[in-house]
Amino acid sequence: MAKDRKPTSLQDLDKRLNAARKHRDDTFGEGSDKGRKASGQSGIGFAFKIGADIVAALIVGVGIGLLLDNWLDTKPWFLVLFFVLGAAAGLLNVFRTIRGFDMAAGYSKPGGKTTDPDKGHNEG
């Protein structure tokens, strides 16, 4: 049975690939796959970026909290406050990275198209 089928020609394969790419661009916006591929980011690199985002935000938050506590002699209130704010900022950065919002200027996907089928195009 498998021998009865003719091999797919390269032109047919090219047509199907172009149709799939056009469908992807229509659905997700043109260049939707360029974010991670263009930067050469692998899975392990992506994981390190997420970890670095959280750690950096916590270091900045704790640093600001310690400086304010030492300056205003209010130990440990600003440390606790800015630790929580740093954790929130780190998680927000992770959320934006995972959703792909860090790939374009602002917080929307390039092309103004949404991936949510329940929402119309160009909704904020």
pLDDT digits 0-9 by tens, 63-78: 999 999 999 999 999 9
pLDDT(2) > 60? no
Residue range of the domain that includes 72: 57-110
Task: Select from 88, 41, 102 the least CA-distant residue to 110.
Answer: 102
CA 24 to chain centre: 18
What confidence tier does 29 reach under pLDDT thresholds 50, 70, 90?
A: low
Q: Is residue 13 part of a domain?
A: no
- Encode burial over 3-29: b for 16+ CB neighbours within 10 A, e otherwise: eeeeeeeeeeeeeeeeeeeeeeeeebb
Q: Is residue 85 part of a domain?
A: yes
Question: Mean pLDDT of all residues in the chain?
Answer: 79
Provide the domain count of the chain.
1
Structure token pair of residue 76: 């440990």
pLDDT, position 7: 62
Q: Is residue 70 part of a domain?
A: yes
Distance from C-alpha of 67 to C-alpha of 36, rounded to nearest angstrom: 37
pLDDT, position 42: 78
Q: Is residue 96 part of a domain?
A: yes
Whether this prediction's pTM lies above 0.75 is answered by: no
